[in-house]
Amino acid sequence: MTDIECPYCGAKDDDCVSDLWEIEGEDNELECGACKKQIIVNAEVSVTYDARRMDCAENSHEYGDWKRYDYDYAYEHEKYSLWARDCKYCDDSEIIKTAYKADLPSSAGE
């Protein structure tokens, strides 16, 4: 929750409103907890939803193609490659570290 800042004394107060839904959409008179002056407060409440496929929630992802990323500039480490693929519907990914420029291991999932 964002603190309400008093336009008179600049004090920030989040205790004057227990539920933003109570003051949303219209002007409301509240008392500043610091200077005790009356102020007008209006809240704008927004809700954001995040939906994803049930398959992903049950760990049945649908991955794209494997891509190889070669790292030959690793400081004080041997060169290596990473094979990675991302789920088409969520932010899950699979990553396999291999020797530098090595082919994708046959044990990698399809």
Strand partners, 38: 31
HSE-CB at 57 with a 13 A cutoff on CA atoms is 5
Using 50 as the pLDDT threshold, list the residues of the chain that sit under it.
1
Note the pLDDT of residue 1: 47
Domain ranges of the chain: 4-41, 60-99
For residue range 81-93, what is the model confidence (pLDDT) as tens digits?
999 999 998 889 9
Note the pLDDT of residue 14: 64
Whole-model pTM: value is 0.51
For residue range 70-80, what is the model confidence (pLDDT) as tens digits?
998 867 778 99
